[in-house]
Structures are given as C-alpha cells and as structure tokens.
Amino acid sequence: MSNWTPAWRYSQGINAPRRKHPSLFVIHFGAINSYDALVNYFHNNPDKRWADSTWVVGQKGQWTQMVKAEDTPYTNGNGLGKWIDEKGILTSLINDIAFTVETSNNTDGKHFVYTDAQYTTLAYLFKWTLENFQHTHITRLCGHEHLTPKFKVDPGPLFDWEKFLVGHMGMKQQIYSEYLQYLQQVASITTDAWWLGPDADMAYMKKELSLDGALKVHRDLSGRPSSHYMNK
C-alpha cells in the first residue's frame, strides 16, 4: 500500500512483533484538530507518548499508513480490555490481534458527522485486510469503545455502523443486526473487574453468562467466508 509515513515509535524500531495473528479491525477517532496534525503527531511524537496507528483517515477520505500491517500497532492498550481472537479465545493482547485506524473527526473537542469519503476509505482499508490476511473476517470489526467500554467512547455515536457495514461493506441486513448484538455481548465482557470497583463479583458473573452467547455468535458468523454475509 502507498501513502506511507512512519509513526515515530515505529521508526525507532520499538514496535514488537505480533504474538497473535492479526484479525481485528478497530476504528478510533483521534483527539487532534486536523488530519495533517494527527499524522504529524504520530510521526513526530512531540509528547513522547508510546502511541501510533496502522492508518490515519481524514474527513476528505485521505489516508496515511504509519505502521506496517504485519506489525503491531500500539493504539488500543494491551491489558486495558479483552476481545475474542480468531480462535474464539478471550485475550488481552488487543494490539497484537488488531489493525487500527485513527479518524480525524473533531476540532477543538467538537466532533463531526463522519463523511462519505471517510466511510469509503475505511471500507477500502477493511477490504484490503480481508483480501491480504487469512484470519480476518467481515465480522472481525469493532470500535475502541467496544474494547474498553468503561474507558473509551470512540468512534462515538456519530459513527453510523449500519451505513458503514451495510452501505459500504455490503453486509446483509440480517447479519448486521446479529453483529450489533454480538458487539454488545462481547463489549459487556471486555472490561476487567478492577474497573468496576465494588461490583467486581457481579462483573465476573456477567462475564460467565455473556461469554457463552458471544462465543456462539462468533462461531456462527466467522465459520463461513466473509462473502457469505455480503450482498451480491
């Protein structure tokens, strides 16, 4: 892929090799005022933070790759949440299984509706991973908010999941409805109990009750090729 500008962390050789197969496409928004500023932030690392992203996507649909897709992006925070890997195993190695996209979607803290150009570019990048990495799947997609629902809110309520998955990815409407339920189920078990303080016991019980349902949906959806779930 073209449009390559390495993130500072990546250019220093700090990114560790993946410990799991990349299989999950994760959408974020960056709290930076513009696309150019967001790319510059990851490229020059002025705050000396340990963050980067596989891709950055602007409101006009422009995009830059900042970490090679076969390598680990440091975007989601390993250990801050959990998700199910391509084998159906709950893991905290979120960065290792993820491709991450930071969208430029706010100015001075005010968020904007995502543009058609952004959805088009996100669909292009997602389809590229489906075509080039064998463990990916159209149902292996989530937002940062689903990984750590007590900590993150992106891509936020202005991101139209139906428009993206049904309109731009061609997912069948029935599968989209099932997938929304799956996201809700898995998000309910991704936060470790220590986030919830006195509700720790309740959280563990909820994990046990939710996990069976989430894994069932995961197996039902990912057991067939992506094309099975897409309109022809």
How far apart are alpha carbons 159 and 113 in whole angstroms? 7
Say if residue 193's pLDDT is above 90.
Answer: no
> Terminal CA-to-CA distance of the chain, rounded, Å?
26
Say if residue 157's pLDDT is above 90.
Answer: no
Q: Kindly report the CATH number assigned to the domain that includes residue 58.
A: 3.40.80.10
Reported as a single tens digit per residue, the pLDDT across 28-59 is: 998 787 899 999 999 998 666 678 999 999 99
Copy the structure tokens of residue 211: 């996990």
- Residue 114 contacts residue 57 (beta carbons within 8 Å): no
- Split into its structural domains, the chain has a count of 1
Q: What is the pLDDT of residue 228?
A: 87
- Residue 100 contacts residue 42 (beta carbons within 8 Å): no
Copy the structure tokens of residue 165: 């998955």
Greater confidence (181 vs 126) lies with 126
Asked if the structure places residue 90 within a domain, the reply is yes
Q: What is the mean pLDDT of the chain?
A: 83
Asked if the structure places residue 188 within a domain, the reply is no
Burial group, residue 52, by CB count within 10 angstroms (0-12, 13-18, 19+): buried
Percent of the residues in the chain that have a pLDDT greater than 90, as a whole number: 44
Single-letter amino acid, residue 154: D
Lowest-pLDDT choice from 80-84, 126-130, 174-178, 198-202: 198-202
Q: What is the pLDDT of residue 87?
A: 80
Copy the structure tokens of residue 159: 């991101």
Asked if the structure places residue 107 within a domain, the reply is yes
Copy the structure tokens of residue 200: 């720790």
Q: Give 230's DSSP letter.
A: B
Rounded to the nearest angstrom, the gap between the alpha carbon of residue 228 and the centroid of all alpha carbons in its chain is 22
Asked if the structure places residue 52 within a domain, the reply is yes
Asked if the structure places residue 227 within a domain, the reply is no
Q: What is the pLDDT of residue 122?
A: 98
φ, ψ for residue 30 (rounded to 5)? -95, 135
Q: Which of 47, 224, 80 is nearest to 152 (CA)?
A: 80
Asked if the structure places residue 120 within a domain, the reply is yes
Expressed as residue numbers, the domain containing 59 is 8-169
Asked if the structure places residue 195 within a domain, the reply is no
Q: Which of 140, 136, 30, 129 is nearest to 83 (CA)?
A: 140
Asked if the structure places residue 196 within a domain, the reply is no
